[in-house]
């Protein structure tokens, strides 16, 4: 198995499992913590740290050298694997373990909408219309939302961070002339 791909799978699984552990801990403390800034920040940082670890591990296995492509692929595959694991667990959590979380998610969306609109000085009628619209939206975690989330992640988020990590960890092999 290619080192970049192998490290991507290994660290993607580890990142996904750590994300599940963090989610369970936050859920046990309070289900509303799943919607907190802490959860959001950890949800972003954990995969990024593992992406960097995967690229660094690939570099180490290549005697300290790493092409940009190897670094990108290590990081990208790590993020994709972690994302799939995390999203599947979220699906199970919201649909089988605690279906009541969907109501909490909707309540949070209403509260956030009110806060944001008041912050921008919206009038009461506009806020009421926005609340009605949010309450009519489906906030459940179905299969289509999961597929959409993974695709958006794979197309926009994962490549962005993968390019940065590949650029940081890249180290070109010098030829016999020192170039």
pLDDT at 179: 60
* pLDDT value at 19 more than 90: yes
Q: For residues 78 and 54, is the Cβ–Cβ distance under 8 A?
A: yes
What is the mean pLDDT of the segment spanning 82-102? 90
Q: For residues 169 and 71, is the Cβ–Cβ distance under 8 A?
A: yes
Q: How many domains does the chain have?
A: 1
Cα dihedral across residues 46, 49, 50, 51: positive or negative: positive
The model's pLDDT over 107-150, given as tens digits with 9 standing for 90+, comes to 887 888 888 888 888 888 888 888 888 777 776 677 788 788 88
Q: Which residue has the higher pLDDT, 95 or 142?
A: 95
pLDDT at 9: 95
Classify residue 179: in a domain, yes or no. Answer: no
Classify residue 174: in a domain, yes or no. Answer: no
Classify residue 61: in a domain, yes or no. Answer: yes
Classify residue 60: in a domain, yes or no. Answer: yes
Classify residue 175: in a domain, yes or no. Answer: no
pLDDT at 66: 92
pLDDT at 177: 65
The range of the structural domain enclosing residue 159 comes to: 3-169
Roughly what angle, to the nearest 10 degrees, separates helices 68-92 and 3-29?
30
Classify residue 176: in a domain, yes or no. Answer: no
- Alpha-carbon span 172 to 70, nearest angstrom: 11
User: Of 161, 166, 169, 165, which is closest to residue 44 (Cα–Cα)?
Assistant: 161
Classify residue 178: in a domain, yes or no. Answer: no
The two structure tokens encoding residue 79: 């993020």
* pLDDT value at 18 more than 60: yes
Residue that has been written with the tokens 């650029």 in this structure: 167
Classify residue 177: in a domain, yes or no. Answer: no
pLDDT at 175: 64
Q: What is the 3-state secondary structure (H, E, C) of 102-157?
A: HHHHHHHHHHHHHHHHHHCCCCHHHHHHHHHHHHHCCCCCCHHHHHHHHHHHHHHH
Angle at 44 between CA 41 and CA 45, to 5 degrees: 80
């Amino acid at each position: 198995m290619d080192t970049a791909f192998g490290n991507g799978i290994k660290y993607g699984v580890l990142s996904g499992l750590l994300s599940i552990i963090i989610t369970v801990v936050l859920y046990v403390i309070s289900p509303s913590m799943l919607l907190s800034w802490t959860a959001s920040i950890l949800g972003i940082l954990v995969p990024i740290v593992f992406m960097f670890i995967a690229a660094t591990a690939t570099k180490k296995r290549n005697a300290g050298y790493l092409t940009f492509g190897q670094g990108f692929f290590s990081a990208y595959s790590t993020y994709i694997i972690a994302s799939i694991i995390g999203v599947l667990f979220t699906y199970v959590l919201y649909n089988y373990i605690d279906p009541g979380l969907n109501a909490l998610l909707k309540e949070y969306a209403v509260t956030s909408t009110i806060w944001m609109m008041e912050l921008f000085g919206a009038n009461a009628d506009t806020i009421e219309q926005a609340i009605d619209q949010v309450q009519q939206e489906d906030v459940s975690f179905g299969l289509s939302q999961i597929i959409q989330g993974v695709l958006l992640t794979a197309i926009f988020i994962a490549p962005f961070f993968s390019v940065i990590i590949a650029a940081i960890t890249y180290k070109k092999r010098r030829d016999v002339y020192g170039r």
